[in-house]
Structure formats: C-alpha cells, structure tokens
C-alpha cells in the first residue's frame, strides 16, 4: 500500500536571503547561487523553503509542505529574483500568470561560445536516455521554448546574452544553449 514519507532531518540555517520586495500577499527574494529552492530526497542541506519557514513568513500551502509558497524555481547555481506566495489565492493567481505568459521570466547570462544570431530555440527537453541525471533535447520530451538575444560582446569572446523563457523546464537555458 502507501509508503510513509520519510521525515527530513533538521538542518542548520546559517545564511540569510535578501528580500527585494514584500507586501501582505507576496515576497520577492534574491536567491543566491548555491542555494536549493526546496527540499527533495537528494537534498541534505538547508533550502530556501527552510529559511522561509524559520523566518516565520506566512506561506501558501498549495504545492505541499516541501514547496511552501514557491511559485517558480530557479536552479541551485542560478542567482535571481524569485516570487514567493504568502497565501493560496495569491499562489493560484501567480501560477495562472505563469501559465498564460502574462508574467515573464528573463535571465542574463555570460557565455563563452558566441551566439551567431539572436535565436529562438523551440525543442523538447527530457532526460538524456544515456545519462538519466542529465537533461537534453530529446524527441519525446516536454515542449520547451527559449529566446536568446546577444547584448554585448567582450574583447575576450565572452558574450552577455538575455534569455526569455516561454516554458519552464529543468536546465532549459543550458540545454537550449548547448
């Protein structure tokens, strides 16, 4: 029948997170690089959700206990603004904005393999059949679309680019750049 979910061992929270905006409905934080957004079986260290709970911030429960208030995620090594819902009604409204594309997600990235032109990549992403830990463009993956725009090129061949996500797949920007 049903397996009982394992309780996570308590984790020490020895960091702080910058709050960019806060009101009674939501919170926008600056997620630092190296911080995992929410707990998962493979995650042993403290997460953003652990920090939010420790701070006593009122959070939505729509996504379950592990993802309190988390409307969207960004990769562990990515730094950026992250929206956190303080109640279920706001969470539903923000999720709807992501779904209908009225809330945009834009990223800046430095790359050392120059883009030939501004480009839109519309290729499905899923687990690499040879390495299940890696995401890749695969024929039967989930739809994924990203627009890339070159902003600046340095004398050393490094480019500053902007990426706009139309979908939100794991490691989407990295996979589509590859």
Region of 76 on the Ramachandran plot (φ > 0 left; ψ -120 to 50 alpha; else beta): alpha
Could you tell me the sign of the dihedral formed by the alpha carbons of 82, 173, 138, 144, in that order?
Answer: positive
Q: Find out whether 159 and 114 touch, Cβ atoms under 8 Å.
A: yes
Residue 35 class from Cβ within 10 Å (0-12 exposed, 13-18 middle, 19+ buried)?
Answer: buried
Cα dihedral 132→136→142→143 (10° resolution): 170
Strands 125-128 and 131-137: antiparallel
Give the neighbor-by-neighbor strand order of the sheet with 18-22: 18-22, 26-31, 80-85
* Catalytic residue IDs: 75
Q: Look up residue 101 and give its DSSP letter.
A: T
How far apart are the C-alpha atoms of 111 and 134, rounded to whole Å?
20
């Amino acid at each position: 029948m049903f397996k009982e979910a394992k309780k996570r061992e308590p984790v020490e929270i020895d960091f702080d997170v910058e709050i960019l905006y806060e009101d009674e409905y939501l919170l926008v934080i600056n997620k630092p690089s190296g911080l995992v957004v929410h707990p998962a079986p493979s995650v042993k260290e403290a997460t953003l959700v652990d920090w939010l709970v420790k701070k006593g911030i009122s959070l939505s429960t729509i996504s379950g206990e592990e993802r309190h208030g988390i409307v969207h995620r960004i990769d562990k090594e990515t730094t950026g603004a992250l929206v956190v819902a303080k109640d279920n009604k706001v969470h539903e409204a923000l999720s709807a904005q992501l779904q209908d594309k009225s809330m945009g997600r834009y990223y800046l990235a430095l790359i050392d393999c120059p883009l030939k032109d501004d480009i839109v990549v519309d290729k499905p992403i899923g687990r690499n059949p040879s390495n299940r830990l890696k995401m890749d463009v695969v024929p039967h993956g989930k739809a994924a679309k990203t627009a890339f725009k070159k902003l600046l090129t340095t004398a050393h061949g490094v480019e500053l680019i902007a990426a706009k996500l139309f979908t939100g797949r794991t490691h989407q920007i990295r996979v589509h750049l590859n």
